[in-house]
Each structure stands twice: as structure tokens, then as C-alpha cells.
Amino acid sequence: MAHAAEAGKRGRTRTGVSKAGGFSSDELLRAYREMLLIRRFEEKAGQLYGMGLIGGFCHLYIGQEAVVVGLQMALKEGDQVITSYRDHGHMLVTGMAPRGVMAELTGRAGGYSRGKGGSMHMFSKERNFFGGHGIVGAQASLGTGLAFSNRYRGNDNVCLTYFGEGASNQGQVYESFNLAALMKLPVVYVIENNRYGMGTSVERASASQDLSKNGAPWGIPGAQVDGMDVEAVKLAGEVAVAHCRAGNGPFLLEMKTYRYRGHSMSDPAKYRTREEVQKMRTERDCIDTVHARLTELGVTEPEIKQIDDAVKQIVQDAAEFAQTSPEPDPAELWTDVLVEG
């Protein structure tokens, strides 16, 4: 829908404070801090993986931070979030504890799933985070169900349902679109288009390249948004969320973003050039952009460094916790399969 895209553009003001929907310096500082937390957290996770402390799969979110940070800024208490296995950033912005997330990555008892779920499978009922899902595309219909509960209860909460552009080719995504449009469910479908689904580029996987139109047959309004620009993301998110809260049914946001790292930790990286990655990092990085904006607004380097240091501290603490928290008891194998007693 045109107005979300326009709102996104308006958000990209380069000067002044809080102009025409642009961020105030407080908002910018918040966005900077949250994006940086995800970046540093993920870098640390990558290191721990390299040290053999994280088993199996670990999908890093580096490069895409502006998407979850901007969208979370458009939410209110009680709104739900659900996503795929590339979920660390989503969890951190909903307010889940970095310690608990990192300890789950290392499979320790102090992790959100007590060391049984790992990187892909964490939940927080308190923070309204409904996973972490390893089945590509499955969360689209799960999120539709979460949204249904909001409508049924008569509240104005919204469910943010994230999935990748690769996932957007799964059949149940379209079954969900139809259902949500038919029943006017308050769900914002967020396609995080980072251009690749494992080794397959979006051009090689999707017949249509404007994924924001994927809900058009059901009349679902959509917008393509610069997902590297946290201000544009937040503004588009506000439009989408307002649409849902007002009872108008679902909204679709296509976030044009990019992942810097491999799909998971072992990635043949044959599908794109190093130059392509480098170009995005140097020209479009979401954190660098906000850093530059802060400087423009007169925020000093020492002030920024204070944030950097605080973030570093949080991540260091999480990493230490994740290495010292005990391993799960073997008896945990049998817990929580069916209700006990």
C-alpha cells in the first residue's frame, strides 16, 4: 500500500530532530543501542560457535538488525511476535534476557528452553515471543492463529509474523493470507527479504520479485520497505500496525534487507560474491547509518562510546553465563513430553 512506503520515505529525514516522522535523538539512541546489542550478541555467538561451544545450527541475524528493532518500536504491550530459526534478534528486542538466549545456544540449563531446544527453539510467554521455528514457513499459520486470539478476545493487539523470502514460497503462507483476509485478523506478515534462502537467491526462487504484492489476490495491502533503514522500518510498521488495530485485517510488509554472514555456520558461500557482501556492509549498514545520524544531531563520540561499552558488558556477561551455566540433567530427556502426573 502506497502510504506505508511513503511514510517510510518521509522517515528518512537527514536533518533536525523529530521532523516529519523522523526519529528524535532519543529514539535514534534507542535504535542504535538495540541494533548494536544484536550485532555484538551475534558476533559473540559466532565466536562461541567457532570455539565448539554451540552445537548444530546457529543462524546469525547480522545485517538485518534494523528490521526487528524498527518494528518492535511500533508495537505495544501485549502484541505477539513469532518468527523462524533466525531468531536471536527478535528475542532480544522483545526484552528476553541475553543470558537466557545465549545459554540456550550453548545448550545449558540456564537457557530459555533449559538447554533442550537450542538456537532455533526458544519461547517467552512473558515477552509474548512465540518462537523460534525450524520448519520454514510454518510460523505463518501459527502467527495467524495468534492473531485470531486477539480478535476473539476483542483486544486491539497485533501479531507480528516474520518469515523469510524463501519461506514465502511455502503453500501454507498463502492459505494463511486467505484466512487472515477472510476473517480480518490483526496480523502483520513481515517478509524479511534478505535475498537468499540458503544458497538460492530470490530471483531463482520466486516468480514475482515484488513480494509486497503477494497478498494482493486477497486484498491484503502491502509495502516494500528499506529494511536497512530503521526509521523507515518503524514508520512502515506503525502504518501496518495501525491498520490491523483498527480492525482492517492483515497487512504485508516486505523488508528489503541483507544477511552478512552465511546461512548457518557452515555455508559454502558459492552463491554470492564477496564484493556483493562488502558493498552492503560499507554502503548500507543499518548501524553505521544511525551512528552517522547521531553525529549529525550532535551526539558526541564519548556518549556513543558509553553505549558501546554498556552493550559490550551485557554481551560479555551473557557469554560468561552461557559457559558456566550447568549442562542439562539427562533426566531432562523425559520432561515436558506430555503433562506429568
Question: For residues 274-333, which are near other proteins according to CB under 8 A?
Answer: 327-328, 330, 332-333
Instruction: Give residues with Cβ within 8 angstroms of 60, minimum separation 6.
Output: 42, 45, 46, 86, 88, 259, 261
- In angstroms, give the least distance from the CB of 194 to Mg ion: 4
Contact 263, 59 (CB under 8 A): yes
Among 15, 77, 125, 270, binds other proteins (CB under 8 A): 270
> Quick check: 159 and 151 in contact, CB under 8 A?
no
Q: How far is CA 16 from CA 19, 221, 230, 238, in A?
A: 6, 31, 17, 21
- The residue from 10, 12, 30, 121 that contacts other proteins (CB under 8 A) is 121
131 binds ligand TPP (CB under 6 A): no
Shortest reach from residue 188's CB to Mg ion, in Å: 18
The single-letter DSSP state of residue 330 is G
Which one of residues 3, 76, 153, 204 is an interface residue with other proteins (CB under 8 A)?
Answer: 204
Footprint on this chain of Mg ion (rule: CB under 5 A):
164-166, 194, 197
* Residue 86 contact partner, candidates Mg ion, ligand TPP, other proteins, none, CB within 5 to 8 A by sort of partner: ligand TPP
Tell whether residue 205 is a contact of other proteins (CB under 8 A).
yes
Q: Is 197 in the site for ligand TPP (CB under 6 A)?
A: yes
> Binding partner of residue 121 among other proteins, ligand TPP, Mg ion, none, CB under 5 to 8 Å per kind?
other proteins
Closest CA to 91 of 139, 19, 138, 38: 38
Minimal distance, residue 119 CB to ligand TPP, in Å:
12
CA–CA gap between residue 230 and residue 65 (Å, rounded): 8
Cα 313 vs. chain centroid, distance in angstroms?
A: 22
Q: Which is nearer to ligand TPP, 9 or 121 (CB)?
A: 121
Whether the CB-CB separation of 306 and 84 falls below 8 Å is answered with no
Q: Does 198 participate in binding ligand TPP (rule CB under 6 A)?
A: yes
In order, the DSSP letters of 31-47 are HHHHHHHHHHHHHHHHH
Binding test (CB under 8 A) with other proteins, winner from 8, 107, 110, 227? 107
Interface residue with ligand TPP, options 8, 89, 143, 164 (CB under 6 A): 164
Q: d(Cα 112, Cα 339) in Å, to the nearest integer?
A: 19
Q: Choose which of 6, 53, 134, 183 interacts with ligand TPP (CB under 6 A).
A: 134
Alpha helices in the chain (DSSP H): 2-10, 25-50, 65-72, 88-93, 98-105, 138-153, 171-183, 202-205, 230-245, 274-284, 286-296, 301-324
106 binds ligand TPP (CB under 6 A): no
By CB under 6 A, residue 48 contacts ligand TPP: no
Query: Can residue 145 be called a binding residue for ligand TPP (CB under 6 A)?
Result: no
Asked if residue 53 binds other proteins (CB under 8 A), the reply is no
Which residue, 135 or 182, has its beta carbon nearer to ligand TPP?
Answer: 135
Residue position matching grid coordinates 556518549:
303
Residue nearest ligand TPP, Cβ-based: 164
Residues 46, 134, 145, 262: which binds other proteins (CB under 8 A)?
A: 134
Residues 6+ apart with CB under 8 A from 75: 81, 158, 160, 237, 241
Piece of the chain touching other proteins by CB under 8 A; list 6-14, 40-48, 162-170, 178-186? 162-170
Contacts of residue 192, defined as CB under 8 A and 6 or more positions apart, other chains included, come to 64, 67, 86, 162, 163, 164, 165, 227, 255, 257
Q: Which parts of this chain interact with ligand TPP (CB under 6 A)?
A: 84, 86, 134-136, 163-167, 194, 196-198, 263
Q: Which parts of this chain interact with other proteins (CB under 8 A)?
A: 55-57, 107-108, 115-118, 120-121, 134-137, 166-167, 169-171, 197-200, 204-206, 268, 270-271, 327-328, 330, 332-334, 337
